[in-house]
Amino acid sequence: MSDVSPELQAAALDFLAEEAKEARARAGAVNELLEDAAPKAAAGSTPTSDGTPAHDTHTLAQADFRDLAQLAWTFLDIAAVKLGGAHYKLAPDELERLLPPTEKVLRKYLPPDFVLSPEYVLAGTALAVYVPKLLTAPSDAPPAQGAQPS
């Protein structure tokens, strides 16, 4: 720009300086986003509303295992109580606590396009909770430890 008049040069340089300033600001903003995103990317993808990281098969498998274990433990707990001759009674919020893991387990083993209605979830929970209760006959034995007498 050596042969350009000073006014022409000043106008062009002002524009370039302003654009460079904007570009630096944009680059800074992008860097901040990248820095924010890096730890999340390292730890897995964005967690879902229930705290389970999505699109991470390892973590998802762990969550499923926890759910299955919880259901199995409940099943065995009820069965053990019944086999011990006691009546099992659900704690006040126990059914509500059991619904989310039941839903997760059902979703895991049902086809992806299967519409999982609340009825299915309730049926799944009932299967885990009430079937053992129905299969075992009531007895007059005193309640087992951890169970509440009905």
Partner 1 sequence: MTPQARTRLAVVGKPDMGKSSHAKRLVKAWLTRGLRVVAVDPHDEYSKDGNPTRLVELGPLRKRMTALELARTPTAILEPRLSLSVVVGDSPRSAARGFMLVARLVRAAEKPCVLLVDEVGLWTNPARHPACHTAAAELATVAISDRKKGISLVVVSQRMAQIPSEVRSTVTDVHAFLQDQQADLEALEARCGQPFAGEVSQLRQFHHAAWSDVATQQKPTLRRVS
Residue 146: left if φ>0, alpha if ψ -120 to 50, beta else—which one?
left
Residues 19-48 that bind partner 1 (CB under 8 A): 19
- In angstroms, rounded to a whole number, what is the distance separating the alpha carbons of residues 75 and 80? 8
Stretch of residues binding partner 1 (CB under 8 A), selected from 10-18, 49-57, 69-77, 129-137:
10-18
Q: Is 140 in the site for partner 1 (CB under 8 A)?
A: no
Query: In whole angstroms, what is the distance from residue 148 CA to residue 143 CA?
Result: 7
| Radius of gyration for the alpha carbons in the chain, expressed in angstroms and rounded | 30
- Shorter beta-carbon distance to partner 1: residue 1 or 137: 1
Interface characters, 100-129, with partner 1 (x: CB under 8 A)? ------------------------------
Interacting residues toward partner 1 by CB under 8 A: 1, 3-5, 7-16, 18-19
